[in-house]
Structures are given as structure tokens and as C-alpha cells.
């Protein structure tokens, strides 16, 4: 296939006028396929990569059901999100094991929808003081033996784990996790600057939903955010118009730079569904418009959006489109180690491509591994 006439995302140059060729499931320098796709009036971008979300269309990753995970994958692909690293919640080990086994089984099926490239364990290695919407009854100190059991159940599918670095055993846990090929993110934490800096030096590479469930960035106490800035870490940001003020979104992109920003959706099962009562990690959640809260009405519990909408929202807040695209594609792919096959439109990468109308960024066409996705 030859995709011609569009403005094509380039990691270094932003958007440029060039053709994109696909040859079967890969992007190539030429194509034996004579099909021509006119992308005039479109931005041509890589398929998005979400490394932190919990569910959609009434289903929750933590339920660990094959049917639910398939529905989530199908929905996400329909929104231009082509690679998924869904997040589990703070739950008992037996349920975390079921989540891991379900992820591994889903990968083997290759049943369509967005590719589930791995699992993100957002809990249970978190701080009780900053648990947010996590269930405090199941919190656990960092336990590398538990992580190894879960990774075995997942058949190597665990790609990312969030932890609070002030918890006992955290530094040893980080070093061991990184040696296993698992990225470590700091979140749901009360850590000060020095503790967080030590954790990044031990191998942590990212912050979980920056600003949320961590100490604020204060001029005399810069905390996790200051340590992440000084350490070259990635910074996740939920850009749903609820979690973070537009001014802070703009400022954070300036602070960390386009190379280190990760947009995530933190979507829960209410995405793609009407307002109403739902659950997240076994806890009741009330959804009204874009706001999802626990029953107390004050604790934010994920979002009801998707990553493509978050990208558009970031652009509406003043983030340059090329920077927002990078934060939804190459950077998250790089953060979990799949950048060799996803995240850019370079030859040799998988041909997962989204065409967006230049005027409103509405989806015009989705191509997943060389195949056009039915509208």
C-alpha cells in the first residue's frame, strides 16, 4: 500500500510531506501492493500506545476474563490505540495471578483487536497514605518473590510495575525488577526528593500519573517530580481535562520536554459507556461526564476517556500536535521496550497507522499491521 498526500509524523521533524509504504504487516521503502490510499487533508501518525489504563466498554482488565479483555482490545483499536499495556489494581495475589494468566492466554490467541503487549501492575506495592482509588486492604510491601511468581504466571508478559519507593525493600525490588526486563514507575507514594532520586538511580524510569497520588512539586520540597526531572525519567500525564489543569499540562511538557512525556488515559470500564455506577478494582465508582469518583465523591477513580481523546485534549490545551503524538506513540513504546517495532513510521516498524483529519483530528482511517480496520 502507498499512503500519499498526507502530512506524516516524523520523530525529529514533526510533520512532513512524504509517502508511507506498507509491505504486508510492515512499513517499507516501497511496496509490491499497488493499492493507493489518498491521505490528502490528513495527518498520518503511528498507532497509539497506552501503558496505563484499566478497561473500557463495561469491562475491567482486573476481572481477568478472556471475553472482557477481547472487548477492551476491540474497542481500543477502534479508537486508534493499537498497542496496550493495561493496568491491574491493588488486589490479592490470586487475582493478580489470574490477570497475568489471562494476559498470557490472550497473547497466544491472536484473536484480533489492539495488541496487548504486556501487563502493568499498578499495585499492590504502594503507600497507604497515597492509595487513591486503590483498595488499601490488599496493599503489600515490595516483594520480589511475589513479582517473580506473577511474571511466571504471565509467561513474561509483565512489562511495567508501579511502586512507592519509600516502602521497605523497594530499592532491592527495583534493581531486581529491572534485571528481569520490567520497567519500574514511581507512584502512589509519599517519597521525598532524596528517596525518589535513589529509586531512579536504582533503575526506575518513570512516574505514574504525575502529580496525582504523590507529593506536590514545591520549591523547597521538589519530591518525586523534581527527582524525575533531574534523573531523565519519563513522566506520565492523564490529559482528560479532569486530573490536570491545562496550565500544568503545558508547563509539564516544557519541564520534561517532548522526549520524556507519556500521555496515558487511566481509563476504567466506563469508557465508551453512559454515565452511571461502575466499579474499579472492586470499588464502587460514580461516573458523571468526564469525572469518575469513588462513592465519597472526592477521590478521582480513573477516567472515562481514551488515549486518542487525551491526545486531542492536550492539543486543545496548547501542546503542539507533534509533541502530543510523540507522547502517545514513541515515548510510551520506548518506556516499556517495544520501540523497535512500534511508535514511529520508519521502515521496518509494524504498519500500525492512523489517519486523522487535519481540521479536527477525527479518525479517517485505521491500519493495523498492514490491514485496514473496518470502520
Q: What angle do CA 26, 28, 32 make, to 5 degrees?
A: 95
- Measure Cα distances from 104 to 51, 110, 361 in Å: 17, 11, 34
The answer to whether residues 91 and 124 touch, using CB atoms and an 8 Å cutoff, is yes
Element (H, E) at 15: strand 14-17
CA dihedral 320, 326, 329, 333 (to 10 degrees): -150
- The CA-to-CA distance between both ends of the chain, in Å, stands at 18
CA-CA distances (angstroms) from residue 66 to 117, 141, 284?
15, 29, 23
3-state secondary structure of 107: helix
Query: Residue 364: in which H helix or E strand, if any?
Result: strand 363-368
Strands across the sheet containing 115-116 = 48-50, 81-84, 115-116
Residues known to be catalytic: 266
CB 210 within 8 Å of CB 204: no
Amino acid at each position: 500500500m502507498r499512503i500519499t498526500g498526507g502530512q506524516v509524523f516524523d520523530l525529529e521533524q514533526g510533520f512532513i510531506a512524504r509517502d508511507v509504504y506498507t509491505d504486508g504487516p510492515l512499513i517499507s521503502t516501497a511496496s509490491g501492493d499497488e493499492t493507493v490510499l489518498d491521505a490528502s487533508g490528513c495527518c498520518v501518525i503511528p498507532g497509539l500506545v497506552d501503558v496505563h489504563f484499566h478497561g473500557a466498554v463495561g469491562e475491567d482488565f482486573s476481572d481477568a476474563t478472556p471475553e472482557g479483555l477481547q472487548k477492551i482490545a476491540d474497542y481500543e483499536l477502534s479508537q486508534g490505540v493499537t498497542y496496550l499495556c493495561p493496568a491491574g489494581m491493588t488486589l490479592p495475589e490470586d487475582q493478580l495471578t489470574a490477570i497475568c494468566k489471562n494476559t498470557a492466554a490472550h497473547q497466544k490467541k491472536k484473536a484480533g483487536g489492539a495488541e496487548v503487549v504486556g501487563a502493568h501492575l499498578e499495585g499492590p506495592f504502594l503507600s497507604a497514605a497515597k492509595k487513591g482509588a486503590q483498595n488499601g486492604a490488599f496493599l503489600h510491601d515490595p516483594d520480589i518473590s511475589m513479582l517473580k511468581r506473577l511474571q511466571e504466571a504471565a509467561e513474561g508478559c509483565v512489562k511495567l510495575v508501579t511502586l512507592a519507593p519509600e516502602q521497605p525493600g523497594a530499592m532491592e525490588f527495583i534493581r531486581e525488577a529491572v534485571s528481569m526486563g520490567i520497567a519500574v514507575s514511581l507512584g502512589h507514594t509519599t517519597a521525598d526528593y532524596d528517596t525518589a532520586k535513589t529509586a531512579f538511580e536504582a533503575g526506575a524510569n518513570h512516574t505514574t500519573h504525575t502529580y496525582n497520588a504523590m507529593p506536590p512539586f514545591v520549591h523547597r520540597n521538589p519530591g518525586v517530580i523534581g527527582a524525575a526531572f533531574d534523573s531523565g525519567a519519563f513522566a506520565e500525564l492523564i490529559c482528560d481535562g479532569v486530573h490536570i489543569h491545562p496550565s500544568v499540562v503545558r508547563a509539564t511538557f516544557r519541564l520534561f520536554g517532548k522526549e520524556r512525556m507519556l500521555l496515558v488515559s487511566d481509563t476504567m470500564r466506563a469508557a465508551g459507556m453512559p454515565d452511571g455506577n461502575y466499579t474499579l478494582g472492586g470499588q464502587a465508582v460514580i461516573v458523571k461526564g468526564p469525572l469518575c469518583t469513588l462513592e465519597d465523591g472526592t477521590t478521582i477513580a480513573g477516567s472515562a476517556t481514551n488515549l486518542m481523546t487525551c491526545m486531542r485534549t492536550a492539543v486543545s490545551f496548547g501542546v503542539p500536535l507533534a509533541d502530543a503524538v510523540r507522547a502517545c506513540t514513541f515515548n510510551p513504546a520506548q518506556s516499556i521496550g517495544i520501540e523497535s517495532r512500534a511508535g514511529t513510521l520508519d521502515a521496518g516498524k509494524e504498519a500500525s497507522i492512523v489517519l486523522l483529519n487535519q481540521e479536527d483530528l477525527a479518525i479517517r482511517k485505521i491500519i493495523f499491521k498492514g490491514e485496514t480496520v473496518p470502520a
